[in-house]
A = this chain, B = another copy of it.
Amino acid sequence: MSADTLQKAKAARAASFRLAAVDGARKTAVLHRVAALLKERRDSILSENSRDMELARDRNTSPVLVKRLGLNESKIDAMIASVNEVAAMPDPVGTVLLRRELDGDLLLEKVTVPIGVIGIIFESRPDALVQISSLCIKSGNAAILKGGSEAQWSNRALFSVFVDAMREEGPVFDDGLQLVEGREDIRALLALDEYVDLMIPRGSNELVRTIRDNTRIPVLGHADGICHVYVDRQMDVEMAVSVTVDAKCQYPAVCNAVETLLVHEDAASVFLPLVAQRLKAQGVALRGDERTRALIEADEATEEDWQTEYTDLILSIRVVSSLDEAVAHINRYGSHHTDCIVTNDKDAADAFLRRVDSSSVLLNCSTRFADGYRYGLGAEVGISTNRIHARGPVGLEGLLIYKFRLRGNGNLVADYVDGRRHFTHRELP
């Protein structure tokens, strides 16, 4: 256990109690100050970032990672815009979710509050630090940030912006953000379930899986995104083709791209040759089951293919005998992330939307829509395949919980138990 990480976690926990009660206006002021400092320190941030870039090139880091790591003028502009956007949102804390009269002089309220201490582990992209820190400040959470060592200098520069902005706004924000750096600090952080309430990993599937497997802290996110398009027997063939192509090719490296295409046997002979032609034109490699390969040219799909997230221009295809079989395949092999049916049959659509157990179930549109921005959630905390707390694309509400407030006038339970007084349980506006 790193004593330093433990101390930072304790400080964050103590800060969380103060942050939960901070006025919305002061949180907005911090974020505006962050935006101003990002502008002021643009040059020094870029020069720190180039130190990371140089080190990365010296270490022969893959060009993809180097690209993610790199900042430039327009990325800093985007950061500033995103901080200002979060600043402009209404204060999410203190929203009254329920008001109920328990008795004439006993009023219950359920109000949103921050969760407490959020642990964030992210890779490469230094802009992730800015985005998630802004969201934590807005929602009144303390946060412990662990960035990748490859972005160490950039992260330090950006972290200072936040710390300085918070310090200027007063001691109530002290210790509200913590940065930990060493690889051994990850292990320490994951053990601190007493101090950290929620872990949010931002990075590869492998990162998420490693974190999930090594902590008792709840983890918000998703490891795999094995998404499906199911083309039903009755559908518009051109629509089915274009939805499939968009879902696979518009951005194949992301979690909501389709990995497996399921086709009703009655539709297969018409649909498959058309879609195969369009996909191949975009460079997609096809893998099919036996019935698929009787109709189009494709490599053989194995059991492993149904369980694989390619995040690449590869698509596995299976012909099914019924909607039931499609639903069963998705619930069994999918990652309960995002799955789509293309159909003109209202009953089939309803059955699919009800029975597919995924965080997003779609009718006649691309799986790529499953995203916080497209769903209109504002800032996105992540996409969750969890089954409690928050599921699917998660906005700021994923960083909140609630508490009950009960205001009385000397009310005693004994009076209600003994029948001298009675609950009214009346909902209030």
Interface size on A, residues (CB 8 A): 70
Q: Does A389 contact B (CB under 8 A)?
A: yes
Q: Does A429 contact B (CB under 8 A)?
A: no
Q: Does A411 contact B (CB under 8 A)?
A: yes
Find residues 146-200 in chain A having any chain B CB closer than 8 Å to their own CB. Answer: 197-198
The answer to whether B410 and A391 have CB atoms under 8 Å apart is: no
Contact with B along A379-407 (1 / 0, CB 8 A): 00000000111011100000001111111
CB distance from A104 to the nearest CB of B (A): 13
Contact with B along A107-122 (1 / 0, CB 8 A): 0100001011000000
CB distance from A350 to the nearest CB of B (A): 10
The answer to whether A362 and B406 have CB atoms under 8 Å apart is: yes
CB distance from A267 to the nearest CB of B (A): 16
Find residues 235-276 in chain A having any chain B CB closer than 8 Å to their own CB. Answer: 236, 239, 242-243, 246, 250-251
The answer to whether B408 and A362 have CB atoms under 8 Å apart is: yes
CB distance from A3 to the nearest CB of B (A): 20
Q: Hey, which chain B residues are within 8 Å of A28, CB to CB?
A: none
For A116, A387, A389, A407, the residue with the greatest tally of chain B CB atoms inside 10 Å of its CB is A387
A197-B388, A361-B405, A423-B376 known; A355+B412 contact, CB < 8 A: no
Contact with B along A341-362 (1 / 0, CB 8 A): 0000000010101110111111
Q: Which 4 A-B pairs have the closest CB atoms?
A: A365-B408, A368-B413, A239-B410, A376-B425
Provide a sorted-by-A list of 29 A–B residue pairs whose CB atoms are within 8 angstroms.
Answer: A21-B351, A100-B375, A102-B374, A106-B365, A108-B375, A113-B357, A218-B218, A218-B388, A236-B410, A239-B410, A242-B410, A246-B412, A353-B405, A358-B403, A359-B403, A360-B405, A361-B404, A362-B405, A362-B407, A363-B406, A364-B411, A365-B412, A366-B413, A370-B404, A370-B406, A374-B413, A387-B401, A391-B401, A392-B404
Binding site for B on A (CB under 8 A): 16-17, 20-21, 100, 102, 106, 108, 113, 115-116, 197-198, 212, 216, 218, 236, 239, 242-243, 246, 250-251, 327, 331, 349, 351, 353-355, 357-366, 368-370, 374-376, 387-389, 391-393, 401-414, 416-417, 423, 425
